[in-house]
Each structure stands twice: as structure tokens, then as C-alpha cells.
Structure 1
Amino acid sequence: MNMQISQRTAQTQGLVMTGHMQQAIALLQLSNTDLQRYIEQEAEENPFIDVARSDRALPSLPYSGGKGNDGDDASSRVANHPLSLYAHVAAQFDLMFTSAQDRAIADRFLEALDENGWLGEPLEEIAFACALDMDEAEHMLLAVQAVEPSGLFARNLAECLALQAEDQGLMTPLFRAVLDNLPRLAAADLTGLARVCNCAMDDLRTTLKQLRSLNPKPGADFLIGDLIEREPDLIVTRSATGWKVELNRSTLPAVQVDEASAAIATQDKRAREYVGERLGVARWLRRAVEHRNQTALAVGAEIVRRQAAFLEHGPARIAPMTLADVAQTIGVHESTVSRVTTGIMMVTPQGTMGLKRFFSTALSSDADSEGGASAAAVRYRIQKMVAAEDPANPLSDDAIAQMVSKDGPILARRTVAKYRDMLHIPSSFQRKRQGKLNAM
């Protein structure tokens, strides 16, 4: 066997992700609020970083929602919206938890609160994140469930309704029995429900009437249309030349570098190395924040340019658009657009929503149709159809598919079923059964 040892030299190119590059990429995903928090944390460790917000007022150019409402402007929409669910609960936590440790744990529960007011994460995960055992987690859960309105932080429907029933003094043995047998109620098996609850039908009807007075989604009361739990990062207004996108200066943080203090500190030779390193970090952060703002503005402007029909006429006219479309136009990588659209919210005449919601693939249309409609627009049409249907005779998936396909993209029944699931719309059989229950 012949063995030879050889040495070869080759030249290759590769990208090394430095710490600064990773941080800059992470900044793209942050909202204005999260960016403010991040900069404040950096300022605590770096004496040459000052956090400031622009004194520039919000734009007040009139814009309309397609109906000529010139009295509405972006500043009023941002400043005067109702208190969000997050802010409402946080304000109560300020009074409920005086211990910093308890407040930090409560805030972790608050982060898990979904838009309906339910606990959106398993209690085991929250306990692990807060280094609690399950008994301690259960005790804290009971504490945060004491907020108003009752029903918040419930883990399921039965618990949500039970919290409200306890608060309103409705919890009786019969009421508890009904909550323990909600699947029978969902199946409209009233005879079987009365049998397992060992009650008369008249008593059951009285309890069901009380049950219907409760709110299964107490957090949804804090949302109006697409209004969100925090202020938007971008604002769309109508000007004389068309639609205009601006950064929300009322929440936009800015990094200021204290060059004067740094110059004085460098006179001390012993501190010169430390000052140089901290000053370099401060200058980099200022450039990174400016780059993040410019990228967010460019992405938002391109989205608005492509979605002019949506701004004029609403969700039914949202146009097909992909991340690659926007990335190619503004000259950045597709992953950059994906990161920017993750955390950025934009206020428009049609409501406030995340940039991700504007992206939707095109559906195939017949020969007589003018281009493909977006999947998001079709889902909106399905939602409107179901909302307007006769509860006693709901539309089947086949019927919806035929109605959409008449004047739009060709839609299969299985596609309607998939979109129903995405919109959390029950089947026609379930909707008919629910209609009967509501009519009692």
C-alpha cells in the first residue's frame, strides 16, 4: 500500500457573522417599543449612550378610508385609541404586585396573554421560565386571574366561564355541572345534558341563558377591528401627491453619543482603552438604529405602493405580494424583509396591522378574470359571507366555493375548508347547531 502526504492551498470566500452583525440583524425585528427598551439597556452599561425621542409631532395630513372622511388623521388615531388589553392589565399589576420579583413573574404571565384574554402558553412552560414549581405557578395563576374583567388568564373555555360565573355569583351546582359537560352542550345534546346534570329542562334553559350572558373572549373587548395592543411603528397618510409613509416619531427612540464626555474621559490614559471601546459601541449602535429605521421605512413604502387598492377599498382588495417581490424592488435580501415585517406595525385608513399581514400568494383565476386575487382577500370574502349568512341555513363549503369562483379565482371546496380553519370558522353543520342553541 502506497501512502502519500500532500499539501494543497485553496482560496475560498465566506461570510463570518460578527457579534455586531448579529445584533444589527436582531434590531430589524424590533418594534419601536422593543427598540426603546433595548437602547435603554445598552445605555445602562455604556456612559456615552443617551436615549432620546424626536420632538417632531405626528403627521396630521388628512386621509380617508375610501369614503372621504377628511376629519380623521393619523395623530388622532394613534393618540386617542382605547386602552389596550396589555396596558389595562399592566396598570392593575402595578397596584397588585409590590414585590419586584412577583411583578416580574406576573409580567411573564402577561406576555403569554393572547388577544382573546386566554393564557396562550402552557402553565408548565411559564413555570419553567420563572423557575417556579407547579404549586407556586398555580398560586401565581390564581393571583393574576383576579384582574378585571374576570375571565382573563383562563387556560380553557370552562375555566374562563367559571371565573366569570364566580365573579357574578352565578356558580351553582347545576352551573358547575354544565361547565363540566360543555362537549354535550357543543353537540346540542340538551336532553343528554339535562340527564347527566340531573335537572329539569326548564332549569337547564335558565342556566344556559346565564351562560350565554358570559363572555368567552374577555380580551377581545379591548380590540376594535385590527387595533393593536401598542402604538404603531409606521403611519400611512394621504397627501396631495398620493399615499405617504412616515415613522411614528412619538415612539421612535434615537441614540445620541456623548462625544464631549468621551473627549474629556480620554485625557486619562488609564481610561483611554475603556473609553475607546465604549465609544465605538455607542457609534455603532447609532448607525445600526439609523439603518433599521431606513430599512423599515423602505419596506413600508413599497408595501403601501403595492397595496394602494387595499388602502382605498379595504381587505377585499388586498393584492398578491411576496417577500421576494418587495426585496427585489428595494434591493435587499428576502430574509431582511422577513425580519423587518416580523415586529413592525403600521396604521392605515383600514386599521392598524402587522406588515406580515400584507403578504399573500395569488390564487389562479379563470380566463375572464383580470389577474389573480390574493389568498388574504379571498379569506376576507369568506369571512364576510359567513357573517351575513342565515344561521338557520348556513352556507356549505361547496356553496362558498361556487360563489367565490363566479367572479374571482377558481376555488375548490377543500381550499374553503382550509381557509375556514385558518379563520377559526366552524363547519356549516356546527354553525347550524350553534344557531339552534342561540335561538333557545
Structure 2
Amino acid sequence: MNFQVSQQIRQSQSLVMTPQLQQAICLLQLGNLDLRAFIENEAEENPFVDVRVSKGEQDYGRSLALPSQSKGGSASDDFDYIGSRAADNLPSLYGHVSSQFDLMFTDPRDRMVAEVFLEALEPNGWLGEEMELIAERAGLSIEDAEEMLHLVQRVEPAGLFARTLSECLSIQVEEKCLMTPLFRSLLDNLPMLAAADLNGLCRVCGCTMDELKPVLKELRSLNPKPGTDFIYGDVTHREPDLIVSRGAEGWQVDLNRSTLPAVVVDEDKAQQVMHDRTASTYIGERLSVARWLRRAVEHRNQTTLMVGAEIVRRQTAFLNDGPAHIVPMTLKDVADAIGVHESTVSRVTTGILIVTPQGTFGLKSFFSTALASDTENAASSAAVRHRIQKLVKDEDPMNPLSDDAIAKVISEEGTHLARRTVAKYRDMLKIASSFQRKRAAKLAQA
């Protein structure tokens, strides 16, 4: 057996994911607020980095659907445009109830016991733990825990700390002084009401349909989940990253300058300390990182605007006429049009919001596949979903359209659609089945 040693020279290319390249890729999918937080974090570690809100001094220009200088506006103008659409923050459910407990329970021990109940309160306003466990944690007997439960159930809004739907509604009825034997019997038979068995309810409650209807009307005015008004009270409304407006030359896209961060490199500070030879290596490294971060953010902003402009160019019909006119579009279509990789478009559209005359949307929502059609212009799946929504909205509530009927209507309009596809889109839109919609309509008319 012979062994030979040989030497070969081969040349190849490969992409090395440096830490800076990884950061640049991550910047593409950050919204304005997340980007600002990232830059502020870098500024804490780098003395030559400062973050400011852009005033529009840089032009990320492009020939199609880009910001008009006359309509760019100031940062304060953009903030007023967006801020006027944000609702006032509401107090949290925990804070709302806790402030009432402070007034209700002057004894420190009772206040601590009430806090145990508050910790068991679910976001929907119901009690999320069994009474045995709450009593054990509070150091109470079951009887004392039940007595405390009746006390905490006096907080506003009525219905908090209920254990069942019947108890939640009963608290609200009692608070309105509307409890009657008929109302009590109705609350004891809620499963029959959910099944829309109104005739059976009349038999069980011992009343006529005319006597039952006003009670059902009062029941519909109650809130089965009284805590839901507070669920989103502490959530900060996120502002969009791109703004679409109609200009003299058509639709235009602009970066939301009210939240757009810009990296400022303090070159003067670097020059002042550069003479310190003991720190020259550190200064040079930090200054290089600061300059790279500025270029990376500028590239992110330019890429975001390019992608947004191309989407607007392709979705002009949507901007003019609404969601029913969204045209089919893929990531590859946009990537080929602006000369970037498909993965770049995917990253940019992941975390970016755009405000349009039709509402605020994530850029990702504009991408949809084309469905088979008899017409030259194929309909997008997004447009078909909007069509299904409209058909359900306009249907006769007492004679709702089945999935087969919806599929037939849309197919007759030129887009081939199967019943199972309608069912899938209906589930995506959180639309109930025709049977459930008919039952709900029957209850609403009772």
C-alpha cells in the first residue's frame, strides 16, 4: 500500500456573517420605535453616537411614489397627524380595582386578604382560581372566604370577581335592581339561551314569548366580561413607519419623521480626544463603529422607503377603491423590481406599518397569491377574503349564506373558489358558520 502526499490550490467564494452584517440585517426588520431603542442602547456604550429624530434633511429619493418636498412637513406636523388617531390611555384593571380596595378596606388585614383576591383576578374580570386555593392563601375558612368574595364583588364595574357567567350577569342585574323570578330563571338556564331554544326557555321559565323578550333585551345590555375594557389600558399605541398621501403627481410615500431616528456621529469630540495616545485604539474603534451604524441606519431607511414605494405603485387600486381591489403580489415581485434579494423584502415587511387612506396595515398584509380566474386580471386571496366579508355583512341575518353559496357567488363573478377555501378564509376572518350566524340573529331579534 502506497501513501502519497499532494498539494492542491483551489479558489472559492463564501459569505461570512460578520457581527456587523448580522446587525445590519436585524436593522431591516425593526420599526422606527424599535430602531430608536436600539440606537439609544448603542449610544450608552459609544461616546461618539447620538440619536436624534430626523427632520427630513436627508433625501431617500426615488422617481416613483416618494415624498414630495412640499408635503413632507415638520416632525411636529407628522406627530399631530398620527397622534390625533390614538385613543387616550385607560387605567389598568389592577390599578382600577386596587384604588377602590384602598377606600373599601381600612383594616390592614382585610386589605391584605383583598389583595389575594385581586391577584386571582383574570384580565376578563373573572376569578381565575378556586375558592379553596384562595382561602388557603389568605388563611381563611371557606365560609370567611365566601363572605369576603361578596365584599370584593361590590367594586365597579359590576360583575368583577365572578366565578361563572351566570354569577357575573347576576351581579350586574342585582346592581341595576332588575332581578325578578323570571330573570333568575333565565340566568339559571343560559345553556338553553346559547342554543337559541327560546320556546324551551318559555316552558322552563313559565312565561310567554312577549314576557321573555324584554328580559332578553336587558340581558343583552350586560357585559359578560367586565374586565375587557381595561385589558389594553396600558398598551402603548404604535405609530406607523411609513405614510402614504396623495400629492400633485399621484400617490406618495414618506418616512414617518415624527418617530424616525437618525444617528449623529460626534466628530468634534473624537478630534478633541484623539491626541490621547493611550486611548487612540479605543477611540478609533468606537468612531469606526459609530460611522458604520450611521451608514447602516441610512441604508435601512432607504431600503424601507424603496420597498414601500414599490408596494404603493403596485397597489394603487387598493388605495383608490379599498381592500377589495388588492392585486396579487409576491415578495419576489417586489424584490425583482427594486433589485434586492427576496429575503431583504421579507425582513423589511415583517415589522413595518404603513398608514394609508384605507387604514393602517402591516406591509406583509399586501402580499397574497393569485387565485384561478376567468378574467385577465386574477383576483388576490386578500381581495377574495374582503369579498367574503362583504357578502356576510350584506346577507339576510335570518337566512345567512352557506359556504357553498358564497363559493358559488364568487365563482360566478369570475374567480374559481371551492367551498373548503371559503371555510378556510372564513375561519381566518373569525366569521362564524351560517348555522351560528342564524342562531345569533334569532337571539338578537328575540
How high is the TM-score relative to the length of structure 1? 0.71
Question: How big is each residue's C-alpha offset from its partner over 1:282-337, in whole Å with a ceiling of 9 and x where there is no partner?
Answer: 11111111010000000000000000000000001111100010001001111110
- Residue 200 and residue 267 in structure 1: after superposition, are their counterparts in 2 closer, same or farther (change >3 A)? farther
Aligned length: 373
Indicate which of 403, 422, 436 corresponds to 1:416.
Answer: 422
Find the aligned partners of 1:295 and 1:345 in 2 and give their Cα distance. 14
Question: How big is each residue's C-alpha offset from its partner over 1:220-256, in whole Å with a ceiling of 9 and x where there is no partner?
Answer: 9989xxxx93211111111111111110111101100
Question: How big is each residue's C-alpha offset from its partner over 1:354-383, in whole Å with a ceiling of 9 and x where there is no partner?
Answer: 1011111111112xx232011101100100
Indicate which of 258, 272, 275 corresponds to 1:264.
Answer: 272
Indicate which of 202, 219, 235 corresponds to 1:210.
Answer: 219
Question: How big is each residue's C-alpha offset from its partner over 1:126-170, in whole Å with a ceiling of 9 and x where there is no partner?
Answer: xxxxxxxxx9xxxxxxxxxxx999999x9xx99899889878976
Matching residue's letter, 1:302: E
Q: Does 1:245 align with 2:249?
A: no
**Counterpart of 1:428?**
434
- Equivalent residue runs for 1:183-194 within 5 Å: 185-188=193-196
- SS of the aligned residue for 2:51 comes to strand
For structure 1, which segment, 178-187 or 206-215, has the greater mean C-alpha deviation from structure 2 after superposition? 178-187
Matching residue's letter, 1:421: D
Matching residue's letter, 2:223: L
**Counterpart of 1:333?**
341
Q: Does 1:26 align with 2:30?
A: no
Find the aligned partners of 1:91 and 1:39 in 2 and give their Cα distance. 33
Q: By how many angstroms is 1:78 displaced?
A: 1.7
- Equivalent residue runs for 1:347-386 within 5 Å: 347-366=355-374, 369-386=375-392
Q: By how many angstroms is 1:19 displaced?
A: 0.7
**Counterpart of 1:45?**
45
Q: By how many angstroms is 1:350 displaced?
A: 0.8
Root-mean-square deviation (CA, aligned residues, Å) is: 4.5
**Counterpart of 2:12?**
12
**Counterpart of 1:399?**
405
- Residue 318 and residue 250 in structure 1: after superposition, are their counterparts in 2 closer, same or farther (change >3 A)? same
- Residue 167 and residue 187 in structure 1: after superposition, are their counterparts in 2 closer, same or farther (change >3 A)? closer
Find the aligned partners of 2:93 and 2:298 in 1 and give their Cα distance. 32
- Residue 303 and residue 220 in structure 1: after superposition, are their counterparts in 2 closer, same or farther (change >3 A)? farther
Matching residue's letter, 1:389: E
Which segments of 5 or more consecutive residues in structure 1 lack a partner in the other structure?
Answer: 63-72, 98-112, 124-134, 136-146
8 Å Cα contact 1:161-1:214 kept in structure 2? no
- SS of the aligned residue for 1:50 comes to strand
Question: How big is each residue's C-alpha offset from its partner over 1:95-138, in whole Å with a ceiling of 9 and x where there is no partner?
Answer: x89xxxxxxxxxxxxxxx9xxx879xxx9xxxxxxxxxxx9xxx
Indicate which of 78, 83, 102 corresponds to 2:87.
Answer: 83
8 Å Cα contact 1:74-1:237 kept in structure 2? no
Find the aligned partners of 1:262 and 1:170 in 2 and give their Cα distance. 69
- SS of the aligned residue for 2:370 comes to coil
8 Å Cα contact 1:345-1:353 kept in structure 2? yes
Find the aligned partners of 2:40 and 2:170 in 1 and give their Cα distance. 43
- Residue 439 and residue 378 in structure 1: after superposition, are their counterparts in 2 closer, same or farther (change >3 A)? same
Question: How big is each residue's C-alpha offset from its partner over 1:10-69, in whole Å with a ceiling of 9 and x where there is no partner?
Answer: 43322111111111111111111111111111111111111111235998978xxxxxxx
- Equivalent residue runs for 1:113-192 within 5 Å: 185-188=193-196
Q: Does 1:390 align with 2:399?
A: no
Find the aligned partners of 1:334 and 1:324 in 2 and give their Cα distance. 5
- SS of the aligned residue for 1:52 comes to strand
Question: How big is each residue's C-alpha offset from its partner over 1:392-423, in whole Å with a ceiling of 9 and x where there is no partner?
Answer: 11011111111111223111111111110110
- Residue 389 and residue 81 in structure 1: after superposition, are their counterparts in 2 closer, same or farther (change >3 A)? same
Q: Does 1:320 align with 2:324?
A: no
How high is the TM-score relative to the length of structure 2? 0.70
8 Å Cα contact 1:61-1:74 kept in structure 2? no
**Counterpart of 1:36?**
36
**Counterpart of 2:263?**
255
- SS of the aligned residue for 2:258 comes to coil
Find the aligned partners of 2:224 and 2:395 in 1 and give their Cα distance. 23
**Counterpart of 2:102?**
none
- SS of the aligned residue for 2:237 comes to coil
Q: By how many angstroms is 1:4 displaced?
A: 6.7
Q: By how many angstroms is 1:93 displaced?
A: 7.3
- Residue 398 and residue 181 in structure 1: after superposition, are their counterparts in 2 closer, same or farther (change >3 A)? same
8 Å Cα contact 1:56-1:250 kept in structure 2? no
8 Å Cα contact 2:166-2:190 kept in structure 1? no
Identical residues among aligned pairs (%): 56
- Residue 286 and residue 418 in structure 1: after superposition, are their counterparts in 2 closer, same or farther (change >3 A)? same
Which segments of 5 or more consecutive residues in structure 2 lack a partner in the other structure?
Answer: 58-66, 72-76, 100-121, 129-136, 138-154
Find the aligned partners of 1:269 and 1:161 in 2 and give their Cα distance. 77
Find the aligned partners of 1:170 and 1:204 in 2 and give their Cα distance. 21
8 Å Cα contact 1:158-1:182 kept in structure 2? no
**Counterpart of 1:278?**
286
Matching residue's letter, 1:409: T
8 Å Cα contact 2:78-2:258 kept in structure 1? no
Matching residue's letter, 1:80: S
